[in-house]
Structures are given as C-alpha cells and as structure tokens.
Amino acid sequence: MKEKPTPIKELSDAKQQDLEKNRSYSDNRAMTTDQGLKINDDNNSLKAGDRGSALLEDFILREKITHFDHERIPERVVHARGSGAHGYFKLYKPLNKYTKAKFLNDTTVNTPIFARISTVAGSRGSTDLPRDVRGFALKFYTQEGIYDLVGNNMPVFFIQDAMKFPDLIHAVKGEPHNEIPQAASAHDTFWDFISLMPESMHMIMWAMSDRAIPRSLRMMEGFGVHTFRFINDKNESHFVKFHWKPKLGTHAVLWDEAQKISGKNSDFHKLDLWEAIDQGNFPEWELGVQIIPEADEHKFDFDLLDPTKLVPEEVVPVTPIGKIVLNRNPDNFFAETEQIAFHPGHIVPGIDFTNDPLLQGRLFSYTDTQLSRLGSPNFHEIPINRSIAPVHNNQRDASMRQEINTGKVAYFPNSLGGGCPFQSKIADGGFTSYDERIEARKVRERSTSFADHFSQARLFFDSQTPTEQNHIIKALRFELGKVETVAIRLRTLGLLAQIDNKLATKVAEGLGLEVPQPEKPMNKGVGADADESQEPIQKNQKVKSSDALSMIKNPTLSNTIATRQIAFLCNEGVNDESVENMRNALETAGATVKIIAPHLGTIKTEKGKNLTVDQSYLIAASVLFDGTFIPDGKNSKDLAQMPEVREFINDSFKHCKFIAADNRAKEVLKNTDAKPNTDMGVLTDSANLSKDFIKKLGTHRFWQREKLV
C-alpha cells in the first residue's frame, strides 16, 4: 500500500526565530548600490535593446561584479580546484570559408594549448567528485596571439544574464553563517535561488544527471556554452557553437560511488589525468563546431543568444574540425595550473562575440578577477600566460613587471620612436570588431524570446534512457532531501512538474510530499517597474528527443577499454596461467591491471613464483576500478572468507560493473550478491573468458542489473 505523503510540519521555534531575524533585516529595506542609490532592476544588465550588447556605462553591473570578483583572494572565486595539462590542437582542414583565424586555416602547424579542468563550487581543498559542473578551459597559443576557449562540460548554464552570476554563486557556496556545506549544492540557499529562477531548469536537468559526476576528466565532453561568431576575410559572419568530444567516450560514476571515491581518494580525477599522461595514454578530444549562417539567426524554436539553450545536433550537426591532445603534465602545479589566467575576451582575428548577455558580463568580469587573484595587470607576463606571438605596446610598470622596456617613448602617436609600436591594417592581421548594426533603446529588460524555460529541459529528460532518468530522479531526491525548508521543496516540485509531471511525482514520492497545484512562476527576467505579465512560456519544439544528449546511447567511439582500471582479487596460491592470460589480454586491449592481495609486497603463486602486489585490500576499493577479475587459485575458499573481498565484490555488483571469475574462483562468489550469471554481467563458465570479459567492459556498465539491486 502506498504511503501517504508526510504533512508539512510547522517550523520549529528555533527555525521560526531564524526566519524572524532574517525578516527583520530584510523587510521594508530597498535594495541599493554601495553608494545608497536605490536599484530598480537587479536582474538585467543595461543593454542596447533587449537582445543587444551590454553597455560599458552600466555602473550597477560594474559595482556588483567588481565586488564579487574581489571576494576571495587569492583562490579563484569559482573553479578553484583544477587539474591542468599541456598539449596541442591539430587542424583537419582549412576553415577559410567561415573564419580568417590563422590557426583554423593552417594544417601544417600544431597549435600549443594548455587545458585546465575544474569543479565550480568547491575550494582548492575540496574533493574531485562533488555533484558539480566541470569547467573545461583551453588556452591556444596561436601565431596571432592568445585565444581562450573557456567552456564547461555542459552546453548550457543556470542563468541568462551575468547580473545574476554573483547571486548564483552566493547561493551555491557554503552558507555564510557557517560555511557549510563544502562543494555541494544540496542545501537550502541554492535550491531557494533555483526555485525562484525558472530559467535554471534546463541546467538543473544536466546538473542532476550523471554528467555532473564524470568517471574521468578524460571522459567528459566540452562545450563553449555561448554562441560566438566566425568572421571570414570578406567580413561575413556565421554563428558558431564549440564542442569537444572525448575519444574514450563520455562516462560517469554512480552517486554512491562518487561519495565513496571522495572518502577513498579525493584526488581521484587529478591522479587519473596525471597517470594517464605520465604513462603515455594521452587524452584526446575531437574539436567540432555547429555553424549557423547569420541569416538563420531567428529560424529556431529558441533564441541563439540564450545561454540556457542548446542547438540540437539533429538540427545543426557538429562538424569535426580538428583534434585536441594532452601530452605533457605541468612541471609545477602552482606556476602553471594555478597561475594560468583565462578570459573569454582573449580572441584572435576571425573570432568574435555575440550579444549573449551572460557572455557580455563575462567579458566584463574576467580581467578584474585576474587583477585580484594574481595581483597585477602584468599577469600576462607569467610564463604560462605569455603569448608566443610578439607583444609590443605602451603598457608600462605596475607590480611584478617582467619586461624590461628600453627607450623613452611609451605613448602613441609619437615621432621620437619612429611611430612604433604602430597600428596594423586589417589585411595585416589588425583586429577589428564585427560591424554589427546596433540601433536600440537603453533598457534593463530580457527579450521575450528568452522566456521558454521548460521545453529544452523536457527535451533533455526525454532524451535519456530509463536508467539515466532514474539517476536524475534519485539525484533530485538526494538534493532536495537535504533542503530543510519545505516551501523550497514544494516550489521546486512545481517547476519540475512543468518539465514532466511523472518526474515531479517520482521526486515528490521520495520526499514524502505531493506535487503542488501548478502556478505560473514569476519570470525573474523583469524589473520592478517592468511588465509583470511577462511570464515563462511553454514552446512546442520540433526536436522531441536527441540521442546526443544521452551518455548511455553514446558510450564510446569504438567500445574501447583503453586506460580502464581492472582489479585482480588475489591471495596466496593464485594460479599463474589464470593471472597471466587475463593480464596479457587486458593490457593488449589497453587496460591497466592492478593486483590486489591481503598485504603489500609479493604473494606466492601456485607454482611458487613471486607475484608483485599493487594494493592491499585495506587500501583498495571497487569504486576505484572499472571491473573486477578473480583468478583461479588453490586457496579460493580462503579468499571467499575475507570480509574485504566480499565487500569489494558486492559494491562492484551494486554499481553495475562487470565481474569475471575463473574456474575455482567461482567459490569466492558464493557468499556475495554476484551470483554467476553471464546474463547479469557476472562471467564464469566461458570458453574464452578474457575475450568475453573485454567485450563486456567495452560497454562500460551492465545497467540492467540496477533494477535488481
């Protein structure tokens, strides 16, 4: 019999007092700037028309963003915890039809790059595996100067206008009164903000999916998020979206695994990337673009300038243009990974911006952040940030200046220096902004074309397999289950119901609540004096499902098991041939084998040889591996009695990983959940066990098992 939802309880006396204290602070107090000026609209930056570029004169945005940028020193305000690596970009064929950028037209040059991949919410000391967005930034050291492609592992974002970025981060960070929780979104302030921001619902679907807990940084997609421009030498413009797809496929761990990995090895992703490069298993992505003619800007069911929307690959396919390879670890983490300074405004001729209001705010903000974090406008002279193209200008002095300039001229125009450094003509590579026509009123408004907040959230959810949908439901139950304020849970359920009522109902069941009657949520994209009737709208988009949005439907480019970690559960008396045959087969396929045993050092094989042990059962855990093999051995019954071994196998089974046991090792499975059954991903009696095991591992997980577990 289905349990009745738990009734909403009254707030405790302590909670009521907290609420009253907060009310006493906020009630009847108008929002102002730091100078006391009352603010009419704290949701929208000042733009040239509701789809126009942000204006430099927006002193309210400047004050808000400047204050935010300087809040934490010297750690990054966001993306504090990161891993980095050197590499290169190799172009497949010239793109002169679309862009005049030299590095996108010269196939003879491998462009050096540095990549930094990071979590967003946590501090430098947090774990690698929170449920979080991953920043994925690429610095291209091109012949024409630095180009920074500052993206994420998700193609959309929480907000539409940069004015709301400080609010988003304030909400997701540890709560101000106690700095709890660390690197987690499962708390009241984050979901309070989200429940009042319907524009966030598409990103919430991504963040609650397994995309937020990747198996490896090498197994993540990358996205430029914003719509940019390509400009060719005829000054013709095309809109462009950037994608980078991993050669190893896009994979994740389960949430239960992520929590256990954080306890066993909080540097799991950092170590994985470092070891892969150190061992010559260079991570590789294919860089691709979605190119849209300027004339097609308004032909979609959504607005191209809206950063909470993606362009379905069924509508505009991704065209591969080159590959990204990371092949060298940093020599010094601080000097390179920590001091590297990215900025979406670092561009080269042939690439330009659009009026995406989130992008416009980022262009405004990043230099200010680097000034605060690195302490000087000379951050470009730090070795990791230096351009390989010659740098000549009249900037001088300031702290930590590295360049020793000669001569007495530091101004332009001049005659004493022969007019140098001189301005470059466009034909010689001089940068000029795209001459987009602008004719608009100065307004603080959101375009009505940005008002559809649910259609693409529904598209994402409907594109997932039942397994992935179930993971999203469980993630929402976990996150909202940590929220103490019931009203916030109910508001969020109301928003989820506008995506999919069954989704909302299943989440509500886990919370002991009922989905509230639908209300029209206020669109936070309007100002205090703006038209309050501008509410979120529902659009019927042409694309109903997109396979590209599902990880399970796109496991890998070739079902490779390259770099996968396989645990061999061993003890004294393990069979020599069983170990060597499986090890050789797996390593030939590119996997890495680790021998796990009761103690470190060596153990004796059945033939009396010494077998080197990589990890003991005290150190090892199944969550750190992609598959488990139990070799044949004369002491298999003894292995079966070890609690650590049973726990290892049970967790591996619970997390839908493939398990193989050879001959007498079937004995080890008897007292575990993993009963021998090939149809359940537990392989034992097979004429070619290694071949079958490798084939199964190539599919990543046996998700059908999840229903039984």
Read off the pLDDT of residues 495-517 as tens digits, 9 standing for 90 and up: 999 999 999 999 999 999 999 98
* CATH for 82: 2.40.180.10
- Is residue 42 one of the residues assigned to a domain? no
371 within 8 A of 400, measured Cβ to Cβ = no
| Cα angle for residues 197, 201, 202 (degrees, 5° grid) | 135
594 within 8 A of 586, measured Cβ to Cβ = no
pLDDT at 561: 94
Last residue of a domain, one of 359, 385, 411: 385
Task: Say how far apart CA 630 and CA 570 lie, in whole Å.
Answer: 7
- Is residue 298 one of the residues assigned to a domain? yes
CA-to-CA dists, residue 56 to 60, 229, 525, 583, 665, angstroms? 10, 21, 20, 62, 70
Among 432-436, 571-575, 680-684, the minimum mean pLDDT is found in 432-436
Count of CB atoms situated within 10 Å of the CB of 323: 18
- Is residue 484 one of the residues assigned to a domain? no
Alpha-carbon torsion angle 521, 523, 529, 531, nearest 10: -90
193 within 8 A of 167, measured Cβ to Cβ = yes
Among 43, 44, 105, 152, the one annotated catalytic = 152
Considering Cα of 560, then 565, then 570, then 574, what sign does the dihedral take? positive
Q: Give yes or no for residue 21 having a pLDDT over 70.
A: no
Q: pTM of the prediction?
A: 0.90
Q: Give yes or no for residue 65 having a pLDDT over 90.
A: no
479 within 8 A of 191, measured Cβ to Cβ = yes
Residue 251 known to be catalytic? no
Which residues, other chains included, contact 460 with Cβ-Cβ below 8 Å and sequence gap of 6+? 202, 205, 206, 209, 549
Phi, psi (rounded to 5 degrees) for 324: -110, 125
Alpha-carbon torsion angle 82, 83, 86, 87, nearest 10: -100
Rounded to the nearest angstrom, the gap between the alpha carbon of residue 262 and the centroid of all alpha carbons in its chain is 17
- Is residue 479 one of the residues assigned to a domain? no
pLDDT at 30: 80
Residue 152 known to be catalytic? yes
Helix (H, G, I), strand (E, B) or coil at 59: helix
Q: Give yes or no for residue 68 having a pLDDT over 90.
A: no
Last residue of a domain, one of 385, 403, 427: 385
Owning domain of residue 145: 56-385
- Is residue 525 one of the residues assigned to a domain? no
Q: Give yes or no for residue 525 having a pLDDT over 50.
A: no
Q: Give yes or no for residue 9 having a pLDDT over 70.
A: no
| Cα angle for residues 373, 341, 135 (degrees, 5° grid) | 100
Task: Say how far apart CA 71 and CA 396 lie, in whole Å.
Answer: 27
Count of CB atoms situated within 10 Å of the CB of 550: 20
CA-to-CA dists, residue 690 to 415, 596, 662, 680, angstroms? 77, 19, 10, 17
Task: Say how far apart CA 301 and CA 270 lie, in whole Å.
Answer: 40
- Is residue 62 one of the residues assigned to a domain? yes
Q: Give yes or no for residue 562 having a pLDDT over 60.
A: yes
What amino acid occupies position 46? L
Size of the chain in residues:
709
pLDDT at 72: 65
332 within 8 A of 340, measured Cβ to Cβ = no
Q: List pLDDT tens digits, range 150-175.
A: 999 999 999 999 999 999 999 999 99
Q: List pLDDT tens digits, range 368-407.
A: 888 888 988 899 999 999 999 989 988 899 888 899 989 9
- Is residue 475 one of the residues assigned to a domain? no
Alpha-carbon torsion angle 452, 44, 362, 551, nearest 10: -20
Rounded to a whole number of angstroms, the distance between the first and last alpha carbons of the chain is 21
Task: Say how far apart CA 464 and CA 551 lie, in whole Å.
Answer: 8
Alpha-carbon torsion angle 575, 577, 581, 582, nearest 10: 0
Among the listed residues 551, 537, 601, 545, the one whose alpha carbon sits nearest the alpha carbon of residue 572:
601
pLDDT at 437: 87
What amino acid occupies position 359? L
Considering Cα of 119, then 122, then 124, then 129, what sign does the dihedral take? negative
HEC profile for 536-603? CECCCCCCCCCHHHCCCCCCCCCCCCCCCEEEEECCCCECHHHHHHHHHHHHHCCCEEEEEECCCEEE
Q: How confident is the model at residue 8 (pLDDT cuts 50, 70, 90)?
A: very low
The chain-wide mean pLDDT, for the chain, equals 91
Q: List pLDDT tens digits, range 351-372.
A: 999 999 999 999 989 988 888 8
Instruction: Dig out the tokens for 411 from the structure.
Output: 């101004």
Among 79, 226, 453, 655, the one annotated catalytic = 79
Q: Give yes or no for residue 37 having a pLDDT over 50.
A: yes
- The mean per-residue pLDDT over the stretch 132-142 comes to 97
* CATH for 579: 3.40.50.880
pLDDT at 526: 45
Task: Say how far apart CA 248 and CA 684 lie, in whole Å.
Answer: 27
- The mean per-residue pLDDT over the stretch 308-325 comes to 98
Last residue of a domain, one of 325, 352, 385: 385
Domain count, the chain: 2
Q: List pLDDT tens digits, range 463-498.
A: 999 999 999 999 999 999 999 999 999 999 999 999
- Is residue 261 one of the residues assigned to a domain? yes
Q: Give yes or no for residue 418 having a pLDDT over 60.
A: yes
Task: Say how far apart CA 219 and CA 245 lie, in whole Å.
Answer: 9
